Chains A and B, each alone.
Chain A
Amino acid sequence: MDLTLHVWRQKGPQDIGKLETYKANGVSPDQSFLEMLDEVNDDLIKAGKDPIAFDHDCREGICGMCSQVINGRPHGHQERTTVCQLHMREFNDGDEIFIEPWRARAFPILKDLIVDRTALDVVMQAGGYTSCHTGGVADGNALLIGKPVADYAMDAAECIGCGACVAACPNSSAMLFTSAKVAQLAVLPQGKPEARRRVRAMADAILSEGFGNCTNHYECEAACPKGISVKFIAKLNREYLKSLIPSSMD
Chain B
Amino acid sequence: MKLVNPSNKRKFKILVVGTGLAGGAAAASLGELGYNVEAFCYQDSPRRAHSIAAQGGINAAKSYPNDGDSIYRLFYDTVKGGDFRAREADVWRLAQVSNNIIDQCVAQGVPFARDYAGYLDNRSFGGAQVSRTFYARGQTGQQLLLGAYSALSRQIKNGQVKMYARREMLDLVVVDGVAKGITCRNLVTGEIESYWGDAVILATGGFVNVFYLSTNAMGCSATAIWKATKKGAYMANPCYTQIHPTCIPQHGDKQSKLTLMSESLRNDGRVWVPKKAEDCDKHPSEIPEEARDYYLERKYPSFGNLAPRDIASRAAKEACDDGRGVGESKRGVFLDFQASIDRLGKSVIEGRYGNLFEMYEKITAEDGYERPMRIYPAPHYSMGGLWVDYQCMSNIPGLFVLGEANFSVHGANRLGASALMQGLADGYFVIPYTIAPYLASLTPGQIKTDHPEFKQSAENVKQEINKMLSIKGKKTVGELHRELGSVMWEDVGMARSEASLKHALKRIPEIREEFWNNVNVTGGAMELNQQLENAWRLADFLEFAEMMTTDALHREESCGGHFRTEHQTDDGEAMRNDEDFCYVGAWEYKGVDKAPELHKEPLNFENVKLAVRSYK
- When the two chains form their complex, are residues B108 and A63 in contact, meaning their CB atoms are under 8 A apart? no
- Say how far A54's CB is from chain B's closest CB, in angstroms: 8
- When the two chains form their complex, are residues A191 and B259 in contact, meaning their CB atoms are under 8 A apart? no
> How many angstroms from the CA of A157 to the CA of B50 in the assembled complex?
17
Q: Does B48 reach chain A (CB closer than 8 Å)?
A: yes
Residues on A with C-beta less than 8 A from B257 are 59-60
- When the two chains form their complex, are residues B52 and A63 in contact, meaning their CB atoms are under 8 A apart? yes
- When the two chains form their complex, are residues B150 and A124 in contact, meaning their CB atoms are under 8 A apart? yes
Residues on A with C-beta less than 8 A from B113 are 150, 154
> How many angstroms from the CA of A141 to the CA of B134 in the assembled complex?
12
> How many angstroms from the CA of A124 to the CA of B134 in the assembled complex?
26
Interface residues of B in 154-190 (CB under 8 A from A): 154, 156-157, 163, 165, 188
- When the two chains form their complex, are residues A140 and B108 in contact, meaning their CB atoms are under 8 A apart? no
- When the two chains form their complex, are residues B43 and A129 in contact, meaning their CB atoms are under 8 A apart? no
Segment at the interface with B among A115-123, A208-216, A228-236, A238-246: A115-123
Q: Does A161 reach chain B (CB closer than 8 Å)?
A: yes
- When the two chains form their complex, are residues B53 and A60 in contact, meaning their CB atoms are under 8 A apart? yes
- When the two chains form their complex, are residues A51 and B522 in contact, meaning their CB atoms are under 8 A apart? yes
Q: Does A131 reach chain B (CB closer than 8 Å)?
A: yes
- When the two chains form their complex, are residues B256 and A34 in contact, meaning their CB atoms are under 8 A apart? yes
Q: Does A5 reach chain B (CB closer than 8 Å)?
A: no
Q: Does B115 reach chain A (CB closer than 8 Å)?
A: yes
Contacting B522 at CB < 8 Å: which of A48, A64, A135?
A48
> How many angstroms from the CA of A28 to the CA of B358 in the assembled complex?
21
Q: Does A74 reach chain B (CB closer than 8 Å)?
A: no
Q: Does A185 reach chain B (CB closer than 8 Å)?
A: yes
Per-position contact with B for A111-142: 1 when CB-CB < 8 Å, else 0?
10010111011001110111111110111110
Contacting A53 at CB < 8 Å: which of B114, B259, B432, B528?
B528
- When the two chains form their complex, are residues A32 and B432 in contact, meaning their CB atoms are under 8 A apart? no
Q: Does A143 reach chain B (CB closer than 8 Å)?
A: yes
Contacting A124 at CB < 8 Å: which of B25, B32, B149?
B149
- When the two chains form their complex, are residues B428 and A134 in contact, meaning their CB atoms are under 8 A apart? yes
Residues on A with C-beta less than 8 A from B32 are 133-134
- When the two chains form their complex, are residues A42 and B478 in contact, meaning their CB atoms are under 8 A apart? yes
Please give the number of chain B residues whose Cβ is less than 8 angstroms from any Cβ of chain A in the complex: 83
- When the two chains form their complex, are residues B44 and A117 in contact, meaning their CB atoms are under 8 A apart? yes
> How many angstroms from the CA of A228 to the CA of B373 in the assembled complex?
27
> How many angstroms from the CA of A85 to the CA of B117 in the assembled complex?
36
Residues on A with C-beta less than 8 A from B25 are 134
Q: Name which residue of chain B comes closest to A143, CB basis.
A: B106
Residues on B with C-beta less than 8 A from A3 are none
- When the two chains form their complex, are residues A65 and B256 in contact, meaning their CB atoms are under 8 A apart? no
Residues on A with C-beta less than 8 A from B476 are 42, 45-46
Segment at the interface with A among B135-143, B234-242, B278-286: B135-143
On whether A81 and B157 interact (CB within 8 A), knowing A31-B254, A132-B108, the answer reads: no
Contacting B157 at CB < 8 Å: which of A35, A114, A126, A140?
A126
Q: Does A188 reach chain B (CB closer than 8 Å)?
A: yes
Residues on A with C-beta less than 8 A from B359 are 60-61, 85
Residues on B with C-beta less than 8 A from A117 are 44-45
Q: Does B363 reach chain A (CB closer than 8 Å)?
A: yes
Residues on A with C-beta less than 8 A from B48 are 57-58, 63-65, 161
Contacting B432 at CB < 8 Å: which of A87, A134, A137?
A134
Contacting A45 at CB < 8 Å: which of B110, B134, B520?
B520
- When the two chains form their complex, are residues B522 and A57 in contact, meaning their CB atoms are under 8 A apart? no
Residues on B with C-beta less than 8 A from A126 are 157
Residues on B with C-beta less than 8 A from A130 are 107-109, 150
Residues on B with C-beta less than 8 A from A63 are 43, 48-50, 52-53, 217
Q: Does B112 reach chain A (CB closer than 8 Å)?
A: yes
Q: Does B452 reach chain A (CB closer than 8 Å)?
A: no
Per-position contact with B for A58-99: 1 when CB-CB < 8 Å, else 0?
111111110000000000001011000101010000000000
Q: Does B486 reach chain A (CB closer than 8 Å)?
A: no
Q: Does B572 reach chain A (CB closer than 8 Å)?
A: no
> How many angstroms from the CA of A108 to the CA of B240 in the assembled complex?
43
- When the two chains form their complex, are residues B119 and A87 in contact, meaning their CB atoms are under 8 A apart? no
- When the two chains form their complex, are residues A154 and B111 in contact, meaning their CB atoms are under 8 A apart? yes
- When the two chains form their complex, are residues A158 and B139 in contact, meaning their CB atoms are under 8 A apart? yes
- When the two chains form their complex, are residues A59 and B218 in contact, meaning their CB atoms are under 8 A apart? yes
Per-position contact with A for B200-219: 1 when CB-CB < 8 Å, else 0?
00000000000000010111
> How many angstroms from the CA of A89 to the CA of B72 in the assembled complex?
51
Residues on B with C-beta less than 8 A from A132 are 104, 107-108, 151
Q: Name which residue of chain B comes closest to A30, CB basis.
A: B251
On whether A87 and B43 interact (CB within 8 A), knowing A57-B217, A134-B28, the answer reads: no
- Say how far B190's CB is from chain A's closest CB, in angstroms: 11
Contacting A62 at CB < 8 Å: which of B142, B149, B479?
B142
- When the two chains form their complex, are residues B53 and A58 in contact, meaning their CB atoms are under 8 A apart? yes
Which of B49, B109, B119, B528 has most A Cβ within 10 Å? Answer: B109
Q: Name which residue of chain A comes closest to B156, CB basis.
A: A125
Name the 7 nearest CB pairs between A and B, nearest first: A144-B118, A129-B150, A137-B107, A153-B111, A150-B114, A140-B106, A132-B107
List 20 A–B pairs whose Cβ atoms lie within 8 Å, in order of A's numbering.
A12-B527, A42-B478, A45-B520, A50-B523, A57-B48, A59-B217, A63-B48, A63-B49, A111-B528, A121-B45, A130-B108, A132-B108, A134-B32, A134-B151, A135-B100, A135-B428, A140-B120, A141-B119, A144-B117, A153-B109
A38-B478, A150-B114 known; 18 new pairs, CB 8 Å cut-off, are A30-B252, A58-B48, A60-B215, A85-B363, A117-B44, A117-B45, A125-B156, A133-B32, A134-B104, A134-B151, A135-B104, A141-B120, A143-B106, A147-B115, A150-B112, A158-B142, A161-B47, A188-B111
